Amino acid sequence: MMQSALDNETTHKKFGMTGDDDLPSTRRIRIRGILEACLVVLGLLCDWAVGGETNDVDGRHVAGLKQKAPPGFTVVEQRPFVVVGDESPEVVRLRATRTVQWAVDALKQEYFERDPEETIDIWLFKDKASYERYTRELFQDQPTTPFGYYSSVHHALIMNIATGGGTLVHEIVHPFMRANFPACPPWFNEGLASLYEQSGERNGRIRGETNWRLAGLQEAVRAGHTLSFQRLTAMTEGEFYGKNASSNYSQFYAQARYLCYYLQERGLLRKYYREFTANSRKDPTGIESLKTVLGEQDLDAFKKKWEAFVLKLSFP
């Protein structure tokens, strides 16, 4: 149901340092030698400035994971994450670059300035049996979702990667949101993360696409069961995540996702993120920022426009 960035037909270009190709070769060598020496000194100064511990801590963490991982697992450092998986080493490395690093780079380009403070491990289990077995053995946990989840206790994203990379990209959003917008309300935290469950690239930028959540949302629109945006944005975590047994929390995810999708398709999503984060103290739910960015003061009228937009969408 979910599409991995690994499966996207996305062209990734590598850029090198340029600008000295017209210099004589001996001069280029001297200049490069000076630059390399400066980089070495700069690296030493950075290590000294942070107490010389950063690389040691990272090294110990990776070494600890290699000891913890069962035989047949591959460990790949892909900052700010460490990827651990039991597919072939080549596939684990590809997931680390084409999914994890692709998503990190794209999300930072679009929204986030700061990396998560803690090192987060991404455990990618190759299938349902592996996911359930090692979740019990390594984390003494019982997964409540077939896709994957974040464990705050273990600082780990735990995934059944056979279901696709969509959940992985979704979960990558959350630690970046915590690092950059800790006051983010649940509707936007999950709406933005859910947007990238099905994602690709357009003009060098990440783009959410329609996904499996659409059908349920269209049904709710036709039945007149969608929430007002004032109500959606004001929901507490308990309300949004369905702690009330009568809550249809999957609909809340869908409505939040497709509000973000609407903003994206109008070229307003990044602008909204910046407006919301800049004004979150006086606008903690984001509703006033939404009015500003949309240019709509009557959100009931806007909701009708948004619902018409949703009903015209299709998936697949």
Per-residue pLDDT tens over the stretch 14-44: 212 223 333 233 344 344 444 444 433 444 3
Q: What is the mean pLDDT of residues 291-316?
A: 98
Strand, coil or helix: what is 75?
strand
- The predicted model scores a pTM of 0.80
Burial degree of 234 (CB within 10 A; 0-12, 13-18, 19+): middle
Give the containing element (helix H, strand E) for 158: strand 156-160
DSSP 281: T
Residue type, 316: P
Distance, CA of 147 to CA of 180 (rounded, Å): 26
For residue range 89-118, list pLDDT tens digits in order.
999 999 999 999 999 999 999 999 999 998
Give the integer Cα–Cα distance in Å for 178 and 42.
Answer: 30
CA 142 to chain centre: 23
Give the helix/strand (H/E) hosting 122: strand 120-125
Separation in Å, CA 290 to CA 79, 118, 185, 248, 306: 33, 31, 14, 24, 13
Average pLDDT over residues 227-238: 96
User: Phi and psi of 248, rounded to 5°?
Assistant: -100, 75
Q: Give residue 4's pLDDT band: very low, low, confident or very high (50, 70, 90).
A: very low
Query: What's the CA angle centered on 123, arms 170 and 148, to 5 degrees?
Result: 45
pLDDT above 70 for 257: yes
Specify the pLDDT at position 247.
66
Task: Look over the chain and give the mean of its residue pLDDT values, rounded to a whole number.
Answer: 85
**Overall residue count recorded for the chain in this entry:** 316
Per-residue pLDDT reduced to its tens digit, 65-92: 999 999 999 999 999 999 999 999 999 9
More confident residue, 163 or 242: 163
Confidence at 246, pLDDT banded by 50, 70, 90: low
